Amino acid sequence: CRPSPCAVLGTCAHSLSMPTQDYYPRLAHPGGLALQAQVRKFGTKLLQLLAEWTETFPRDFQEESAIGHLKDVAGRIAPCDEAYRKRMQQLLQALHQRLAALGQGPEGLVGANKPISYRTKPPAAIHRELLGVCSDPYTLAQQLTHVELERLRHVGPEEFVQAFGNKDRLAGSKPCFGDKTNSLEAYVQWFNRLCYLVATEICMPAKKKQRAQVIEFFIDVARECFNIGNFNSLMAIISGMNTSPVSRLRKTWAKVKTAKFFILEHQVDPTGNFCNYRTALRGAAHCSLTAHSSREKVVIPFFSLLIKDVYFLHEGCTSRLPNGHVNFEKFLELAKQVGEFITWKQVECPFEQDPSITHYLYTAPVFSEDGLYLASYESESPENQTEKERWKSLRSSVLGKT
């Protein structure tokens, strides 16, 4: 576990033994001059450490106490050198900007996270379909990439540690971090939303020809996401099409050209711990390292699997060895995975944004699970007694009909 920012900065301030109060007048004193020489000796490295820390882990400084300690250190080293003073001023200014950006976050999902129930006559806001907003699969894949990168940017690398690394098995159960993982959780919610949005768009049309058209459209979108390197949207779309309310629409699927869909399913097959996906991800990551165009730099991993990998790495290895030493092998592997994530999330989206499409992706209402099943049964009648009983139950509970 990383030590708290207050503890580290407090140690830094303590090492500069002279207190901040009455500091400036005493610099002329022989003791003050000795301290100036001491600070100049390691000041450059200390500034480099603070710059990288505040840039990579700005959330560490969200609390006033941490900012106070940082300013304390700044007050001790800035008077020793004009260059130090200017650098600390720039560092604090950049940190405040990052914290302000974190506070804003991406466009919210207010009102969109909560699924709605199915209605026989959807209101206008629901009746408006995605194909009416965007009918080009490549364009939608580009806009999904915009959304993914925007949300990824707000996930701090320290959230992985805070999510799973808050307990040291050999040191007892006292947590080292709080549960500040809002951006990480919001990104997982976005995946679930996209999955339900795909299923909703497929189940909504009344005619199977239209439903088949929507399925084929999403197959093409998923293929374009794969080509771009947007594996998170790819997984969400395939998951949406594989939900039970969609997969049971046999008459609809009979009208779909499924060859491309089976190829994509093969790519996301969970067999062998997602062996095919991991191979494709490694290929995309390699291309990103040697890419000359921003278009080829995009790598958006299947986020839920990335979290799962970090979780099992943490659970499978203790943070400390039996002799009490830190398990560096574990933390090096963790640093490798999180380091790749940092590189990927910093890529600028190479596609022009279409606000009307991204707004729809964020705000279009989606059906709840019961709503999806009811829409599916209304589109294609139940095939067995179990489905018939569930259909009757849903009509009674959701629509108030018998």
pLDDT tens-place string over residues 187-216: 989 999 999 999 999 999 989 999 999 999
Average pLDDT, the chain: 81
pLDDT at position 177 is 36
Cβ atoms of residues 285 and 313 within 8 Å: no
Distance CA 132, CA 135 (A): 7
Region 78-89: what's the mean pLDDT?
80
67 or 23, which is more confident: 67
pLDDT (tens digit per residue) in 32-61 = 566 666 666 777 888 888 888 888 777 778
Amino acid at 345: K
Amino acid at 347: V
pLDDT at position 110 is 39
Distance CA 318, CA 315 (A): 7
Question: Which of the listed ranges 238-242, 306-310, 384-388 does the model predict with the highest average pLDDT?
Answer: 238-242
What is the H or E stretch that residue 186 is in? helix 182-203
pLDDT (tens digit per residue) in 133-163 = 999 999 999 999 999 999 998 888 878 777 7
Give residue limits of the domains in the chain.
5-104, 119-400
Tell whether the model's pLDDT for residue 173 goes beyond 60. Answer: no
376 or 334, which is more confident: 376
SS3 300: strand
Tell whether the model's pLDDT for residue 24 goes beyond 50. Answer: no
116 DSSP β-pair partners: 367
Distance CA 266, CA 245 (A): 21
CA separation (Å) from 292 to 27, 35, 296?
52, 48, 7
Tell whether the model's pLDDT for residue 217 goes beyond 60. Answer: yes
User: 120 phi and psi, to 5 degrees?
Assistant: -65, -30
What region, left, alpha or beta, does residue 324 occupy, with left being phi > 0 and alpha being psi -120 to 50 degrees? left
Region 319-327: what's the mean pLDDT?
85
The yes or no reply on domain 119-400 and CATH 1.10.840.10 is: yes
Tell whether the model's pLDDT for residue 234 goes beyond 60. Answer: yes
Region 235-253: what's the mean pLDDT?
96
266 or 9, which is more confident: 266
CA separation (Å) from 232 to 75, 144, 283, 399?
45, 10, 16, 35
326 DSSP β-pair partners: 320
195 or 332, which is more confident: 195
